[in-house]
Chains A and B, each alone.
Chain A
């Protein structure tokens, strides 16, 4: 390989991945034929699970390496186009693949904060970071901070922040892998987690960044095929046009008409009334849990006794009364949980939210707060995107600054393919639900509804609340994940496509998990072990340490995921605010302002992280309980900003602290100034060539 030129290498990659893509499509077609001949769905699930993980393992083993530069930065010869695909897979997680369209279905316009935030951040990567980091040409993000600002303190803060952002994120990915494998193959969640762990390690353990890069490209191919096929099909079914992104405006208009009709439909109003009454009754009972519990239980017992005494009572009435008593909550705590849940029904007792309407609120003040939060969330997601180490690290792997610049364009292009499809998918599914499911009879529900309701009531549940035998929208509850998972069936595609979607979700989760694991392990092995503890370590020893740490981090993350931690989704979103506040100011000022000093960076990063953390800890319910915060949420809230967007305070503070402290401390040394000039120009004649 060493004698090969870069363009020959690129040609070869194109050939390999074309063959790979063709082979994968052939595999799907073969399975489709096998399904027609009677292969059971369970085995299709297994075939996808083992074939794809086997493929990744093969690439992982072929990419094994004992070279430091290959292990950390894939030898710096990943062409812009392929690095774009790898970044796309690195970036798009289980949440993007499975959860995003569902989020858009539920939140309508307001869900677009994620679409804009997670794409617009790449503009910041392109303009402020990627080319300069590539020119700097080392191995990790803390590496850049350490070299630019000098000293181990700033490097340590960088390592701490990198691990903080990446660890919660990787736990969520492994959790996602567990869910997908268990849902599609029927194996237990705990085992699914460890199957997933195996899938992650085969991609990264032997070959580090090199192996991760080439599996991520392969995973991107699978995930994008798996995402687009069902949507195109559904688009054909709904709009008779195969490009959903162009045609869903029509579906959106129909959805808007249906929303208006559903809002004033008397049957819908009746169901909303029933839900409201239930919620009101529950909140009444919650005022004095113990007394209501005793009274309700006595009433249920009395009813059963009365019915039993009544000789004319029908047997089914007796059975119903017995069942009601048997299902009655065991103690007051269980009753409290039940009533709290019922109280939540109030959220369903409202007319459908207009899909395209921005910033919904009951009055102008509420709408303005919703708008402020939307914009703040977009800001945090964008700046966080441009500061997450596992993404920035990918731009170390291109052959040149020129290609690093182009590579950001390709990255966003490949991400864009999925992200501009997700809003279309949400609208198309909504169209189907509002026009076909709503108004159908309970005796004859669409098949996808009954089959997913049987799998998990949290995904789909429909209950005839007003007993008219017809489905009203207010009687339908769809979980966020079901939108993507059920699309193949809604579109009337065979099971093999459902298996393909699962394989796509798995690819999304595995690829992201790999990038994150490598970030954590490399921060520990390169920055902590090699740069701080043992700078004279041999190459062999460095790689051994790197691989052992990778294994240890992976096992810890999987063990945490196997506990099914609550609030994992909040932690993932929080990672963006943390990354934004910790890294973005220090990285950008480090490149664009020569005056930024060591202490400025240390204190700026600490202040940004600190205020972000403080705001979350005092306003987010779960963190409040962890830290025992007792003052009310309202007292701690600033400008009505939600805890998820805490970075909106952390980023400006980080910039301000770096600037002020830098002005009061000594100017960086001549050597550092030269390093800054070095990263600003792709090639300076006569400058000490210290990279490559």
Chain B
């Protein structure tokens, strides 16, 4: 079938959110990882920050990001009329 402008907008919004979340993913993983030695000079909850991010902080952000994406997209489906019919 022919896609409407609304369909294209849905896809653009999806790609935009995907790009934003990928940017956060990149920063949390690689930028923080790259500066782990420097961040270790800071202490949070008794942990050196660089170590804490690798052992816990990054993981928590990953989990939150995935649930956020699921919630946002499931709402977007409704809004743009591309949601599945409930079974």
Q: A residues 671-692 with Cβ under 8 Å of B? A: 674, 677, 680-687
Nearest-Cβ distance from residue A551 to partner chain B, whole angstroms: 35
**Cβ B70 vs Cβ A420 within 8 A:** no
Bound form: Cα–Cα A375–B37 in Å: 13
Contact bitstring A448-487, B, C-beta under 8 A = 1, else 0? 0000000000000000000000000000000000000000
CB of B82 within 8 A of CB of A681, answer: yes
Tell me if B83 and A683 are in contact (CB < 8 A). Answer: yes
- Asked whether, in the complex, the Cβ of A109 is within 8 Å of the Cβ of B54, the reply is yes
**Contact between B59 and A419 (Cβ–Cβ < 8 Å)?**
yes
A420 and B45 form a contact (CB under 8 A): no
Given A120-B25, A123-B65, A357-B40, CB of A682 within 8 Å of CB of B84 = yes
Q: Name the contact of A375 in the complex, choosing from B30, B65, B67, B74 (C-beta under 8 A).
A: B30
Is the C-beta of A406 less than 8 angstroms from some C-beta in chain B? Answer: yes
Q: Size band of the A side of the interface?
A: 35 or more
CB <8 Å contact, A416 and B63 = yes
**Cβ 8 A contact of B63, one of A112, A131, A412:** A412
Whether, in the assembled complex, A339 has its beta carbon less than 8 Å from a beta carbon of chain B, the answer is no
Binds B, one of A183-191, A228-236, A247-255, A265-273: A247-255
Of the stretches A63-71, A397-405, A564-572, A597-605, the one at the interface is A397-405
Chain B residue contacts of A406, Cβ below 8 A = 67, 70, 74
B82 surroundings in chain A (CB, below 8 A):
681-684
Supposing A409-B67, A684-B82 touch, asked if A122 and B62 sit within 8 A by C-beta, the answer is yes
If the complex has contacts A109-B36, A123-B21, A382-B29, are A116 and B59 also in contact, measured as CB distance less than 8 A?
yes
Query: Considering the complex, which residues of chain A in the window 111-170 have a beta carbon less than 8 Å from any beta carbon of chain B?
Result: 112, 115-116, 119-120, 122-123, 126-128, 131
Interface positions, chain B 19-37, Cβ under 8 Å from A, are: 21-22, 25, 29-30, 33-34, 36-37
- Kindly list chain A residues whose C-beta atoms are within 8 Å of the C-beta of B52: 249
The residues of A that contact B60 with a CB separation of less than 8 Å are 416, 420
Given A371-B34, A399-B87, A680-B11, A126-B66 contact (CB < 8 Å): yes
Rounded to whole angstroms, the CA-CA distance of A378 and B33 in the bound complex is 10
On whether the beta carbons of B47 and A378 are closer than 8 Å, the reply is no
Q: Is A6 an interface residue (CB 8 A)?
A: yes
**Distance (whole angstroms) from the CB of A104 to the closest CB of chain B:** 8
Q: Is the CB of B29 within 8 A of A116?
A: yes
- Residue A358, interface by CB 8 Å: yes
B47 and A249 form a contact (CB under 8 A): yes
Contact mask for chain B residues 33-76; partner A; CB cutoff 8 A; 1 contact, 0 none: 11011001000011110111011101110110111011001100
Interface string of A197-231 (1 = CB under 8 A from B): 00000000000000000000000000000000000
Q: From DSSP, what is the main secondary structure of chain B's interface residues? A: helix
* A408 at the B interface (CB under 8 A): yes
B55 touches A420 (CB 8 A): yes
Complex interface: chain A residues within 8 A of B56 (CB): 245, 420, 423
A533: CB under 8 A from chain B? no
User: Can you list 18 A-B pairs with a CB-CB distance of less than 8 A?
Assistant: A6-B87, A112-B54, A115-B54, A116-B29, A119-B59, A123-B21, A249-B52, A371-B33, A371-B37, A402-B77, A405-B74, A409-B67, A416-B62, A420-B55, A420-B56, A420-B60, A680-B11, A682-B84
Give B contacts to A, CB under 8 Å. Answer: 1, 3, 7, 10-11, 14-15, 18, 21-22, 25, 29-30, 33-34, 36-37, 40, 45-48, 50-52, 54-56, 58-60, 62-63, 65-67, 69-70, 73-74, 77, 81-85, 87
Residues of A at under 8 Å CB distance from B?
5-6, 109, 112, 115-116, 119-120, 122-123, 126-128, 131, 245-246, 249-250, 252-253, 356-359, 367, 371, 374-375, 378-379, 382, 399-402, 405-406, 408-409, 412-413, 416, 419-420, 423-424, 592, 674, 677, 680-687
- For the complex with contacts A378-B30, A402-B77, 17 further pairs of A-B residues with Cβ separation under 8 Å are A109-B36, A112-B51, A112-B54, A116-B58, A120-B62, A127-B18, A249-B46, A250-B46, A252-B47, A357-B37, A358-B37, A371-B34, A402-B84, A409-B66, A419-B59, A420-B56, A682-B82
